Amino acid sequence: MKLQKGRKSARGQTLIEAMIALIIMSIGILGIAGMQVLSLQQNRGAMFRAEATQLGNDLMDRLRVNTGIVYNALLDADPTSAQSCEVNPCTPVQMAAFDIAQWKCSINSVDAAGATFTVCAGYIPPVEGITGSLPLGAGSVALVNGVYEVTVQWAEDRIDVPCGSRTTETACASITLRAQVN
């Protein structure tokens, strides 16, 4: 009789062991999935930071080429229309306005409603316009004590309000490049 009593108490033990193993495995899989999501977010952030750095360096190069003209653009200002210097000869002042318009379009080419800015749609009809590469991005350039400061901002998190002089600064990331241009 003792032999049968031992068998009855051991019958549910295998099921409990299997359930515990399944729970442990599930926790491990959730941990791996969480690490994968975090890795993708970090990769996305690094991509945007590299793009912002490239855009900042692009404007710095334009500043170095068009010397003698003061470039100025506000962070929350939309790109303004400018004469196309790709098809028409431009003065240095016109070139500066064209450079700022192209640069602003490269950062963010759509307004808060999602419509493409007219200046970003393209200057030459068969050629497609410039598409912004940073989510809800904004850019500024200013000459401070003989040093140009170029700032590029973009949305790190999924927010509805563009970066710039908005109230959601905590969700925005930015880089600032400084260079003295002679």
pLDDT, one tens digit per residue, over 74-121 is 887 888 878 888 878 989 999 999 899 889 988 988 887 778 888 887
Q: Could you tell me what percent of the chain has a pLDDT over 70?
A: 82
pLDDT, one tens digit per residue, over 36-49 is 999 998 898 899 99
Question: Rounded to an integer, what distance in angstroms lies between the CA atom of residue 163 and that of residue 172?
Answer: 6
Boundaries of every domain in the chain: 50-179
Q: Please give the model's pTM, rounded to 2 decimal places.
A: 0.75
Question: Rounded to an integer, what distance in angstroms lies between the CA atom of residue 182 and that of residue 68?
Answer: 8
Which of 96, 98, 73 lies closest to 85, judged by CA?
A: 98
Minimum mean pLDDT range among 14-23, 30-39, 60-69, 160-169: 160-169
